[in-house]
A and B are shown apart, each in its own frame.
Chain A
Amino acid sequence: MTCTSIRLTTDGSVAFLTLNSPRTSNAITAEMAAEVAEACQAVRQNDGVRVLVVTGAGRVFSAGRFPPAGLAHGEAGPAPILERLRRLRVASHIAAVEKPVVAAINGPAIGQGVELALACDLRLAANTASFVLPHLQHGLLPWDGGTQRLPRLIGLPRATELLLTGRRMTARQAVAIGLVHQVVPSGQLMAEAKELAERIASAAPIAARYAKEAVLKSLDLPLEDGLRLEADLAVLLHSTQDRAEGLASFAQRRRASFSGR
């Protein structure tokens, strides 16, 4: 895969997707979005990869461009606009990855950059990170899941305030309301992200995927159906070698070594 605006690397069982257009503050373009889609597909299909880390090169995580690339004035009608917004999407590709995804937010996340981070499962932020959804003042609405994922993650009151006012939030404020899980000094971000990703990667991969699926679907299913899904996934795991290995390692008081089968 030849990429120009992102980088996809792997280190052991952890893959790193780096937005790599620092000169344009990693603003998302249709080209970058297509590369993110391709990278996510590669991560999903690579059994050696257990966890994905998403980050940005340079000092900015990802700055939205207003109006976004390809959405200039004078568009014809709703169909081409819809087409363009869809081509710019990245969060939906990240959200389609069944494996755990960690965001390492290396600096300001602006507009679609916030939406990208919201599609990840865990968020680590550098102390230089900040968050803002400035769409409304540009006459636009978030189009990459922001209006729906933000309230689901931090609650409707705070999501409402952030979206309607367009207020910028610091990393410290973000951790206080649960938008990010941890803030670390900028220089330690990637080391911390790698350590966190490796800790997740050391767990049984199928169990981690199922846990993610069950928790994410819990918000969308009636309780009865959610409990059924949980029970089904738990029973499915009975058939894996990793569950036997997990139980054996516990009995033998040793670290488990999971194969992902």
Chain B
Amino acid sequence: MSTQSTQAPETIILSKRDNIAFITLNRPHVINAYNVKMRDDLWVALQAVRDDADVRAVVLSGSGDRGFCAGADLTEFGSAPSQTIARQVRFERGVWELWLTIPKPFVAALHGFVLGSGMEMALLCDIRVASRDATFGLPEVGLGMVPAAGGTQTFPRLVGMPSALQALLTARRYTAKEALRMGLAHAIVERERLLPTVERLARRLAQQPPHVMALARQALLHGGDVPLPQALELEERLAVRAALAASRG
């Protein structure tokens, strides 16, 4: 399976092995900078992954030597016809919102530069494995922007306010080791072991029953946004659904 586009080079490669889908950012000559074409291709790939019942886990990685994704392609900035249209497109083709509705686990394989929207894509994944040489950062503020792929919301929820404010306000870069300490990366491996490690992890996730995987991710994704008593009620509803399915075999 692959994306349908034929006119332009594919900015996203989608492939499948067994129950695992592999989404690869594919603009290696610009460290996989995220541009409008990549947004459209990613939109298609995410829908394919969502709709393919065989897919139980997704691996996200970047092609090329230099990095996972160096951020948004700044050469295309300002190319939207107007701010109003840019905003309209942002929500009509809400890649990040779509991403969060996919009931399947994502594992990110992060190497080299993981910056800006690259970092934010990693933050939308469930588990992040980094190669030893990975560098993380949100440089937006230094460029007169704010992260706009969910970073201002996902980062503090994942690693806490102190690290989030430091990363956003200072726009500093973090080594893989620092990312590990922060909880941003779950593990660090040598570059050549990155994809095998991530694939093994994805296989482990793919072995879990898909319906409970989806319920567990809902509990984690939504439970943190409400006070504990409501969060426990959410867990109870989801746990009953899981137990009901289990008891019916």
Contact = CB atoms under 8 A, between A and B. Distances in A.
Asked if chains A and B come from one complex, the reply is yes
A151 B208 CA distance: 20
A187 interface: no
Nearest to B208: A136
A156 B220 contact: yes
Interface of A: 67, 71-75, 77-78, 81-82, 85, 92, 135-143, 145-149, 151-152, 155-161, 163-166, 177, 216, 219-221
Contacts of A146: 235
Contacts of B246: 67, 73, 138-140
A71 B247 contact: yes
Contacts of A152: 224, 228
Contacts of B201: 165
A136 to B, nearest CB: 4
B44 interface: no
A162 to B, nearest CB: 10
* B-side interface mostly: helix
B244 interface: yes
A143 B105 CA distance: 21
A155 B240 CA distance: 25
A156 B204 CA distance: 19
A163 B219 CA distance: 11
A220 B230 CA distance: 10
16 contacts: A77-B244, A136-B216, A140-B212, A141-B239, A142-B239, A143-B239, A147-B235, A148-B234, A151-B224, A155-B158, A156-B158, A164-B213, A165-B201, A219-B228, A220-B227, A220-B228
B86 interface: no
Contacts of A157: 127-128, 158-159, 183-184, 186
Nearest to B219: A147
A152 B227 CA distance: 11
Given A148-B235, A164-B205, A81 B223 contact: no
B236 interface: yes
Contact of A164 (B208, B235, B239, B241): B208
Nearest to A159: B220
Contact of B244 (A75, A148, A151, A158): A75
B240 A160 contact: no
Nearest to A154: B183
Contacts of B209: 136-137, 139
Contacts of A156: 157-158, 220, 224
Nearest to B231: A148
Nearest to B207: A137
Contacts of A85: 236, 239-240, 243
